[in-house]
Amino acid sequence: MKGGIIFMPYKNGKSAWNFKDLTSKTFGRLIVLDRAENKHRKARWNCECQCEKKTKKTILGQDLIRQKVQSCGCISSENNIKRSTRHGQAKTRLYNIYLGQFDTLEEASEARRQAEIKYWGNER
């Protein structure tokens, strides 16, 4: 059996990563240096953040792949700064249309389909 290949859209055109070897791959600001010891039987990787601090971190492979971790923590602290500076300025208006609650995925997707036809027309 072959190792799991994970397909994800990615900016630089790389759409497939070999799950078993993440060495030299980049995830956000993190560059994978090499494999670290497993923790609870899960693969971990030694990563280096490309920010000023060049922080080294050991991160679970699954967190990298699911993009849960994309920096040493600097991105989230920058986001916090952005969020607090944006406060008080004109907000971008988001359009969320509440369609109700549904018991099954089928009902929900049908409701969404109907809503798309209603709001955007039937040309899709």
In the block, tokens 């059996």 appear at: 1
Cβ pair 25, 15 in contact under 8 A:
no
Query: Across the strands, what pairs with 110?
Result: none
Residue 57 near Zn ion by CB under 5 A? no
Binding span for Zn ion by CB under 5 A among 41-49, 59-67, 78-86, 113-121? 41-49
Work out how close the CB of 37 gets to Zn ion at its nearest, in angstroms, rounded to a whole number: 22
Q: Considering beta carbons, is residue 21 or 48 the nearer one to Zn ion?
A: 48
Q: Considering beta carbons, is residue 20 or 68 the nearer one to Zn ion?
A: 68
Binding residue for Zn ion, selected from 65, 74, 111, 115, defined by CB under 5 A? 74
Binding residue for Zn ion, selected from 22, 49, 59, 60, defined by CB under 5 A? 49
DSSP states along 7-67 = E---TTS--EEETT--TT-EETTEEEEEEEEEETTEEEEEEEE-STT--EEEEEHHHHHTT
